[in-house]
Chains A and B, each alone.
Chain A
Amino acid sequence: MSKIAFFVLAFLSIFSAMMVVFSRKPVHSVLSLIFCFFTIAGHYILLNAQFLAAVHIIVYAGAIMVLFLFVIMLLNLNAESEPHKTSAGKIAAVVSGGLLLLVLVSVLKSTDGLQLSAAPDSQVGMVKNLGMVLYDKYMLPFEVSALLFLTAMIGATMIGKKELD
């Protein structure tokens, strides 16, 4: 059952990721990417990482992709205004992407050390467990990320506002 779910989700993620690259309208790309993120959240649930699945949906589908959709609609991008590479450029992109995949797969195939040593602890990805780790061992990075958000907020407002005359 979980195995079938994994392969269906994997197929859907790869298919929607392809749709992001190949669809003609930017809005369709964004919607495919949202779908892709939902399938990745499904993978997280399958891997028993409930906390990350929730955070992933909230942060990516809820915040980042809404921002993307908003900007694309704000700039009024559509299939007519879409710039396209030359056919040679597109073929070169596909070939080099395929070659990268080939290299990655062949390197990963040659490793044989990836064996499950013990049955994984199913409680690792739960909110309680991750919260204990996050607020204990990773307290300082957590605080610093607040600073990062403050910087990003100030930066985005500074860059995004109209220039002063």
Chain B
Amino acid sequence: MGSSILELVHINNYVMLAAILFAIGVMGVMFRRNTIIIFMCIELMLNAVNLLLVAFSTMHSDPGGQVMVFFIMAVAAAEVAVGLAILVMIYRNVKSVDIDILNKLKW
């Protein structure tokens, strides 16, 4: 077997990459008004965390982290199915995916 990637690339690089991806996701949530794109940015944040979990799991040779990522993916799939159903329902009622229209629960 070849040497592990973590012996060539320091774990800090993975931490930075995950932090950047997470920050892009947070920025996207605030930047856009299209609800579907906001949803996609949330997926991006989930993936940044998943990447970090896998990196640390490899670093410590602990399969628990990768099992956790597996469950996060399962929950994300369920979340997307229900969330997109809600979005389609909202679109059917108000004919828009603009998040600023959906402010009835805000105040």
Contacts and interface: CB of A to CB of B under 8 A. Distances in A.
Interface string B23-42: 11111101111101101110
Given A75-B97, A133-B63, A96 B33 contact: no
B7 A119 contact: yes
Interface in A137-165: 137-138, 141, 145, 148-149, 151-153, 155-157, 159-160
Interface residues of A, number: 83
B24 A17 contact: yes
A49 B93 CA distance: 44
Contacts of B89: 159-160
Contacts of A138: 67, 71
Contacts of B67: 130, 133-134, 137-138
B103 interface: no
Given A13-B21, A124-B58, 9 more contacts: A2-B9, A29-B40, A46-B5, A60-B47, A83-B34, A104-B22, A130-B70, A155-B81, A156-B84
Interface of A: 2-3, 6, 10, 13-14, 17-18, 20-22, 26, 29-30, 33, 36-37, 40, 43-44, 46-49, 51-52, 55-56, 59-60, 63-64, 67-68, 71-72, 74-75, 77, 82-85, 89-90, 92-94, 96-98, 100-101, 104-105, 108, 114, 116, 118-122, 124-125, 129-130, 133-134, 137-138, 141, 145, 148-149, 151-153, 155-157, 159-160
